[in-house]
Chain A
Amino acid sequence: MSGLNTSLTIGIQALEATQAALNATSNNIANANTPGYTREVPQFSENAESLSGSEVSGGGVNLDGLQSVRDELLNLQIQQQTSQQSSTDTQSASLQQIQTNFASTGDDIASTLTAFSKSLAQLSASPSNAAAQQGVLESGQNLAESFNSTANGLTSAQSEADSQVTQTVAQINSLTQQIAQLNGQLSQLTQSGQDGGTLQDQRDELVQQLSQLTGISVSQSSDGETITTANGSPLVMGSQSFTLQTTTGSDGMQHVLDSAGNDITSSVQGGQLGGAIQIRDQVIPGFLSQLNTLASQFASTFNSAQAMGFDSNGNVGGNFFSVSTGTAGAAASLSVAITNPSLIAISSDGTAGSNGNVANLSAALTSPLPSGQSVTNAYANLVFQVGSDASNASSESTAIGQSLLQLTNQQSSISGVSIDEETTNLIRFQTAYEAAARIVSTIQQLSTVTLDMGSSQSY
């Protein structure tokens, strides 16, 4: 039969449940600013009624546990967008750095080309003036140097991306190890029927970090999450992690190998790794090859123009520019071959006063190169491409950033801790706790009264 003890038990249960709820609330408040923290909600349920004779009494409250409030689908979307954004961010950062080589700074190719063209026009008016001849030589050297520094700027951005590949792969390996470990702990917890919210938060946060490094695909399986790269190479399966490796390829660049030793460099997409590989293997080589073709064709066209005339000593003009044979590395190797301005082929008839060949030299700058474009046009094209790539990458990054912000807001509206809400809960549970405590003290008083009934002695 139910008695005062039943009420006492119910009151104590209520105290315990409310205390657990207060714990949950204070934990939520404590972790309001912890990255990846998912708010936990106490799950109350009523205990079964007990029937004793004709008397029915409630069974009190039971705290089933704490449940993390999360949306797995949203997490997946956020991971994908994060991969995309960090890929474009990596590319954008590199392109911002690259494009300073093409900005009008005074020692960029456009400026030095202008000075070179100008010095040739001046030579046309004063062919035998030593200062005008020296001017051509010096502006030619400046032009060669700006080709060199532009090429070096591109190559150093490329090797920066290359070292980023190695670093990123190391970070990926460390993250996949931690995720696999958490996967193991989590599957033990879920088997024993617990929520494991904290571990899940940690794992989600790590997966989120992993998605910043490379594009991943995540699926749920019985023993936790299975994570593969976008092209299907395994990274984490249950409690096992698979390490990626880097090795120097035949092109001198770091190649990414999966755990089975397959070269997956070209299929890596998204994340810092994908962005760095895209910049290193596609974007920069494209620019470099254009720049090299330009340098190589310009040097040989100008040298042919030299050969059409005679230098100040009456000899057929020799090479003005020296450049590596073959197109590769042409821009970095471009230099002026002569040191004496008297070797510039100004004359068309061998006499010192003729300027007849200057027109040919100038024409090398304005007439189409074998590529079909003049030096100016070819360089202007390159500037356009660099600028448009940089501008596209940065606007793409902004756009993805916007949609990522939306998704994060959505995630936060589901999983984020609201101080107002927690404060309200605090008041609610405070009241409940006070009320439950009142029950216990009331029952205690009643018990005393009851005991006093049969005795003159007062307890």
Chain B
Amino acid sequence: MRVNPNLVPDILAAINESQTNLNTALQQVSTGKSVSVPSDNPAASADMVQNTIESGDVDQYTQNVSGVLSMVQTADSALGSVVSALTQAISLGTEGANGTDSAANQQEIAQQVQGILSSVVSQANTSYEGAYLFGGTANTTVPYTASASSPSGYAYNGNNGVNSVAVGDQLSVQVNLPGSQIFSNSSNDVLGSLSSLVTALQTGNTAGIESATSAVSFALSYVSQQRVFYGNAESQLNSQETYLQQETVSLTTQQTNLVGVDMATAATTLSQAETANSAALAAAAKVLPTTLLNYLSNPS
């Protein structure tokens, strides 16, 4: 059989192929990515869509957790102050009820309890980044303002709404309790009991002081119970933070597996492609110029 005399298409195809391989290898090494357009690996590209969106969400959830965590901590420490204020009010109430105090002393104690009431109200009006923490979802208005019509002397301007913040794809954490539940609950009215204690102390009614003091101590234990909510939220957020960190790591790993290159392999492939390309070029240089004419002497 006659041999194909025209080597050019074969040689060009070989050079072309080795050049393509070289380009691909070079691109992979220089970008560190094995997939730059969907056709490089359709399945990995599709998975990367999911991965990108999840990574973005996890990133934001992590920011949410740290933002919400400091908000919850602020609320928790506000309630901590309320607890110690109430403890102090109870000891003042007990002191006022022991019958040995003069009326002037009781007035003085009443003054102190009144001061405690104001400090509890100011804690109930705590705000975080411009939003009131105990106003329910109506958190743009001051939750407790002085009101003559209210028995406790303070009216609640918030609502009973609660907010839950997304900190995971299927997880949102409730981040607030409305003030109406913590401070002016009808069965355990913190502000009301303090206010009654002030009134009882001012009037010097020992029985009244005793019953008001016991109401304040009920309120104390109630606030302590409510505070557990914030403690739980904190620990939930902390464990979610840990989870999100792991999730970030696993998403990054997945991303590397999907579109990343193993540098050692990529570098080896690159050097192989270089060798193959040089070989193809060298072969072309050797073969192409050679014909019988090279070996015939010129006719004299």
Task: Determine whether A202 belongs to the interface, using a CB cutoff of 8 Å to chain B.
Answer: no
Q: Is the CB of B49 within 8 A of A376?
A: yes
Tell whether, in the assembled complex, residue B140 and residue A353 are in contact, meaning their CB atoms are under 8 Å apart. yes
- Tell me, rounded to whole Å, the shortest Cβ–Cβ distance linking B125 to chain A: 14
Which of A99, A355, A419 is the most central at the interface, judged by chain B CB atoms within 10 Å of its CB?
Answer: A355
Stretch at the interface among B110-118, B164-172, B205-213: B164-172
The reply to whether the CB of A366 lies closer than 8 angstroms to some CB of chain B is: yes
CB neighbours of A122 from chain B (8 A): 60, 63-64
Binding-face segment, B97-105, B130-138, B147-155, B267-275: B130-138
Check B50 for interface membership: any CB of A closer than 8 A: yes
| Residue B36 interfacial (CB < 8 Å) | yes
> B159 touches which one: A349, A394, A417 (CB < 8 A)?
A349
In the complex, chain A residues whose CB is within 8 Å of the CB of B231: none
Query: Could you jot down 12 A-B contacts, CB within 8 Å?
Result: A96-B37, A110-B48, A114-B55, A353-B140, A353-B161, A380-B50, A386-B38, A387-B41, A390-B38, A391-B40, A409-B10, A423-B291
Is A384 touching B45 in the complex (CB atoms < 8 A)? yes
When the two chains form their complex, are residues A121 and B38 in contact, meaning their CB atoms are under 8 A apart? no
Cβ contact within 8 Å between A380 and B64:
no
| Minimum distance in angstroms from B115 CB to a CB of chain A | 30
Contact call B9/A383, Cβ cutoff below 8 A: no
Please tell me the size bucket of the interface on B. 35 or more
A80: interface (CB < 8 Å) = no
- Which residues of B in the span 1-23 have a Cβ within 8 Å of any Cβ on A? 1-6, 9-10, 13
A424 within 8 Å of B (CB atoms): yes
Complex contact A99–B161 (CB within 8 A): no
Chain A residue, CB-CB nearest to B291: A419
- Which residues on the A side are within 8 Å of B68 (C-beta)? 125
Give A43 Cβ to nearest chain B Cβ, in Å.
17
Judge whether B37 and A115 touch: CB under 8 Å: no
Contact B138 A96 (CB under 8 A): no
CB distance from A192 to the nearest CB of B (A): 30
Chain B residues positioned under 8 Å from A128 (CB to CB): 130-131, 139-140
Within the complex, the shortest CB–CB distance from A377 to chain B, in Å, comes to: 8
- Give A200 Cβ to nearest chain B Cβ, in Å: 19
Known: A121-B60, A125-B64. A390 touches B39 (CB 8 A): yes
A102 part of interface (Cβ distance < 8 Å): yes
A180 to chain B: which residues have CB within 8 Å? none
Contact, CB under 8 Å: A387 / B46: yes
What residues of chain A lie closer than 8 Å to B165, measured between beta carbons? 124-125, 355
- Is the Cβ of A413 less than 8 Å from the Cβ of B45? no
0/1 string, A371-414, CB within 8 A of B gives 1: 00000110111011111101100100000010001001110111
* A-chain residues with CB within 8 Å of residue B138 when the two chains form the complex: 351-353
Name the interface residues of B48-90: CB closer than 8 Å to any CB of A. 48-50, 52-53, 55-57, 59-61, 63-64, 67-68
Interface assignment of A211: CB less than 8 Å from any CB of chain B: no
Number of CB contacts from chain A to chain B under 8 A: 186
> In the complex, are the beta carbons of A126 and B67 less than 8 A apart?
yes
Partner of B53 from A110, A354, A388 at Cβ < 8 Å: A110
The answer to whether A353 touches B137, judged by C-beta atoms less than 8 angstroms apart, is: yes
Using Cβ atoms and an 8 Å threshold, which residues of chain B touch A163?
none
Establish whether residues A353 and B163, one from each chain, have CB atoms under 8 Å apart when the complex forms.
yes
Q: Does A416 contact B (CB under 8 A)?
A: yes
Does residue B43 face the partner (Cβ distance < 8 Å to A)?
A: yes
List chain B residues, Cβ under 8 A from A388. 39, 42
| Distance in Å: Cβ of B102 to nearest Cβ of chain A | 48
Whole-angstrom distance from the CB of A399 to the nearest CB of chain B?
13
Interface segment among A224-232, A234-242, A259-267, A356-364: the answer is A356-364
Do A383 and B45 touch across chains, with their CB atoms under 8 A apart?
yes
Closest 5 CB pairs of A and B: A387-B38, A418-B5, A387-B42, A353-B139, A354-B137
Q: Verify A419–B293 contact, CB threshold 8 A.
A: yes
Chain B residues whose C-beta falls within 8 Å of the C-beta of A115 in the assembled complex: 56
